Structure 1
Amino acid sequence: MPAEQPTILATSGGLRSGSRTFLEFNKLIHFALDLSGVDGRTPRLCHVGTAGGDQRAMNANMTEAGRVAGVDVSVLNLFTMPPTDDLEDYVLSHDVIWVGGGSVANLLAVWEVHGLGAVFRKAWEAGVVLSGVSAGSICWHAGGATDSFGPDLRIVTNGLGFLPYGNGVHYDSEEQRRPKIHAAVAAGVLPTTYCTDDGVGLLYRGTELVEAVTERPGSGAYVVVREDSSATAQEEKLDTRVL
């Protein structure tokens, strides 16, 4: 049973070190699975590792984490080629799409070549939960700040745009993030932008932000808006529910 309406959970978290495995699913991934509405069968999660170059080790770690969690994990590799000629059928056969972190600029370029933007939109509209961390959060938005080009952050504005906002990730753990987002919003380069500390996720139903949630108590979410009269950015902290 798909989610009741188009659902995106955009995060700066979702994974943790495992006790007997390298990785385990943390509360944000479990929340994404809950949002999918699956009942009476094993949930199906598709890991998309494009931003990290489809690393086989990460694929194995995610598959193993899924086994521990009782989740059927498959991977959508685009290097060196997709696993099927019918990417739409492949993607829509899952309950949750989890997009890993890495280079959002490279991710968007490769997805465009393979037409994945349109495929993910159909999945989103059909009730497949779209989720992910870092690059896997920014990609669903209009754009955000990224280290895809080097250690000095740059702004990308060619996100898939399912959500008509900017997105800031790792807001509390990387010192360049906050000032870069503020400058981009103040200049009108990014629209209103929602940001997450590490461990925090933003739940959107359709294009509306419903709530912010966290697997790490004390971490927060924020909205940055442009003050037109002064061409400055104003930040507001959002209420955040602990999972």
Structure 2
Amino acid sequence: MPAEQPTILATSGGLKPGTRTRLEFDRLLHHAVELSGVSGRAPKVTHIGTAAGDQRAFNSEMDEAARLAGFDFSHLNLFTMPNHADPEAHVLDQDVVWVNGGSVVNLLAVWRAHGLENILHKAWQSGVVLAGVSAGSICWFQGGTTDSFGPELRAVTNGLAFLPFANGVHYDSEERRRPLVHRLVADGTLGETHCTDDGVGLVYHGTELVEAVTEVPGKGAYIVTASEGADGAVEERLEPRYLG
């Protein structure tokens, strides 16, 4: 049962430390499943870990978290070759695609080499919920800020652009993120930029931002746009709905 409309959940969260396992799925990842509308069976969720090089040890930790959550869970690995003979058929058979963090620059290059950009767009249009954290959030937008090139944050501007905005992640936990977003919006490198504190997600139906949600009370989401003010950018805070 696909989502009723193309849906993206772009987050700076979704995972938390486990009690008997190293990781558990937090409320944002569960919300991605809710957005898919699946009921009456285990939700089909595939994890794409390209941004961190498809680490098999991390995949195993995600498998344990999925077992606790009761998900029908799988991985789409691209290193050293795709682990599915037909990646498109695999992705289209899912309720949710969850993309984890790492290097968004490397993720985009590898996805394009394997034609995954078109596959994911088709899945999105078909009602498969696209979701993810950090690099797995930025990828759906026109661009954002990244440490893919090194410790000094830089702009990335060649995202998939399913959403006609830029994206700022880890807005409250990495002190250089906010001023760089403001500077890049002010000089026109990035357009309107949608940002999330850690633990916050943004829900889009089609290309419309419809809601901010959070798994951590008190956190915020933000829209940064160009202005004629002192620093050339203005920031509007959005109050997320708590998923607790």
Could you tell me how far apart the structure 1 residues matched to 2:25 and 2:240 are? 20
In the TM superposition, what is the alpha-carbon distance from 1:227 to its structure 2 partner? 1.3
Could you tell me how far apart the structure 2 residues matched to 1:128 and 1:44 are? 10
**1:147 matched residue in structure 2:** 147
Could you tell me how far apart the structure 2 residues matched to 1:183 and 1:190 are? 9
Stretches of structure 1 that go unaligned for 5 or more consecutive residues are: none
In the TM superposition, what is the alpha-carbon distance from 1:87 to its structure 2 partner? 1.4
Letter in 2 for 1:8: I
Query: Structure 2 matches for 1:1-243, cutoff 5 A?
Result: 1-227=1-227, 232-243=232-243
The answer on whether the counterparts of 2:76 and 2:84 sit within 8 Å (CA) in structure 1 is no
Letter in 2 for 1:2: P
Could you tell me how far apart the structure 2 residues matched to 1:82 and 1:4 are? 29
Letter in 2 for 1:184: L
Once the two structures are overlaid, the 10-residue window that deviates more, 225-234 or 205-214, is 225-234
In the TM superposition, what is the alpha-carbon distance from 1:239 to its structure 2 partner? 2.1
Residues 174 and 208 (structure 1 numbering): CA distance in 2 closer, same or farther, change over 3 Å? same
Alignment deviations for residues 39-95 of structure 1 (CA, whole Å, 9 cap, x no partner): 111101000000011000111111110000000110010000001232110111110
Quick one: percent identity of the two aligned structures?
66
Letter in 2 for 1:62: M
In the TM superposition, what is the alpha-carbon distance from 1:230 to its structure 2 partner? 7.3
Could you tell me how far apart the structure 2 residues matched to 1:64 and 1:96 are? 18
In the TM superposition, what is the alpha-carbon distance from 1:178 to its structure 2 partner? 0.3
Letter in 2 for 1:186: A
Letter in 2 for 1:130: L
Letter in 1 for 2:149: F
Equivalent residue pairs, number: 243
RMSD: 1.0
Could you tell me how far apart the structure 1 residues matched to 2:113 and 2:231 are? 37
The answer on whether the counterparts of 1:226 and 1:233 sit within 8 Å (CA) in structure 2 is yes
In the TM superposition, what is the alpha-carbon distance from 1:231 to its structure 2 partner? 7.5
The answer on whether the counterparts of 1:187 and 1:231 sit within 8 Å (CA) in structure 2 is no
Residues 142 and 4 (structure 1 numbering): CA distance in 2 closer, same or farther, change over 3 Å? same
The answer on whether the counterparts of 1:167 and 1:193 sit within 8 Å (CA) in structure 2 is yes
Give secondary structure in 2 for the equivalent of 1:102: coil
Letter in 1 for 2:90: Y
Once the two structures are overlaid, the 10-residue window that deviates more, 228-237 or 79-88, is 228-237
Could you tell me how far apart the structure 1 residues matched to 2:163 and 2:228 are? 22
Relative to the length of structure 1, the TM-score reads: 0.98
Once the two structures are overlaid, the 10-residue window that deviates more, 161-170 or 220-229, is 220-229
Give secondary structure in 1 for the equivalent of 2:113: helix
Letter in 2 for 1:166: A
Could you tell me how far apart the structure 2 residues matched to 1:116 and 1:228 are? 39
